[in-house]
Amino acid sequence: MRVYVDTSVLVALIVPEAHSAAVARWYGRTRAELVSATWCVIEFASALGLKQRSGQIDAAQARDAWERFERLATNDLLLLPPIAANFQRAAGLALDAPNALRAGDALHLACAEQAGAKRIATLDAVLGRNALRLKIKAVAFS
């Protein structure tokens, strides 16, 4: 089974956050094939930059987190490049205002669909709710 992994989960897996322990437990026991879009690379880098600017981590911690992310992406995460159709699908999802999807989350959903993922690992409630509408179940972290 394929599980699409949102950047929020990747960040929590590598940088200490409120949900890090639950995400680490899930990651440690999952046997699913983990996939994400290459889009998560820039999102992860952006999250590290934000955490540095806000004083949550320092430059050394950011470098360490980046190295851990690169190892994870190389060894445990299949990164799929978005195709033109993903951007068109994401635009359609984002245009539906009641869904409240941001651009990046709409792209993640479109990529999850294209990857054939049956589940999505996300800490974003809006993304999880929209995934369910598309028949992609959200992973429950406990």
* Contact predicate 35/3, CB 8 Å: yes
Interval 28-44: pLDDT, tens: 999 999 999 999 999 99
* Contact predicate 136/113, CB 8 Å: yes
Which residue type is seen at 122?
T
* % of the chain surpassing 90 pLDDT: 99
Q: Can you give the pTM of this predicted structure? A: 0.95
6 pLDDT tier (thresholds 50, 70, 90): very high
pLDDT of 21 above 80: yes
Question: Which residues, in sequence order, are CB contacts of 19 under 8 Å at separation 6+?
Answer: 12, 123, 141
Q: Is the alpha carbon torsion for 130, 133, 135, 141 positive or negative?
A: positive
- Domains of the chain plus CATH, in order, are 2-138 (3.40.50.1010)
Q: How far apart are CA 26 and CA 48, in angstroms?
A: 22
The position carrying tokens 């911690």 is 61
